[in-house]
Amino acid sequence: MKKQSRRTIRFNDKGRRFNARVAGLALRDGFLLIHREVHEPFWTIPGGTAEMGEDSRTTLVREMQEELGVDVTVGRLLFLVENFFTFGKRAWHEIGWYYLMDLPSSFPFSTDGGIIHEIVDGKNRLEFKWVPATRASLEALPLPPVFLASRIEVLPETTEHIIWDDGRL
CATH of the domain at 161: 3.90.79.10
What does the pLDDT read at residue 60?
Answer: 98
pLDDT at 123: 85
Residue 3 lies in a domain: no
User: 3 falls in which pLDDT band (50, 70, 90)?
Assistant: very low
Which pLDDT belongs to residue 5? 52
Residue 124 has pLDDT above 90, yes or no: no
Q: Is the residue at 134 inside a domain?
A: yes
43 part of a folded domain: yes
For the chain, what is the domain count? 1
- Is 4 inside any structural domain? no
| Residue 5 falls inside a structural domain | no
**Interatomic CA distance for residues 114 and 86, integer angstroms:** 29
**pLDDT tens-digit series, residues 128-152:** 999 999 999 999 999 999 899 999 9
Domain that holds residue 142: 10-104+112-166
Entry field: residues in the chain: 169
- pTM (two decimals): 0.91
CB contact at 8 A, 47 and 61? no
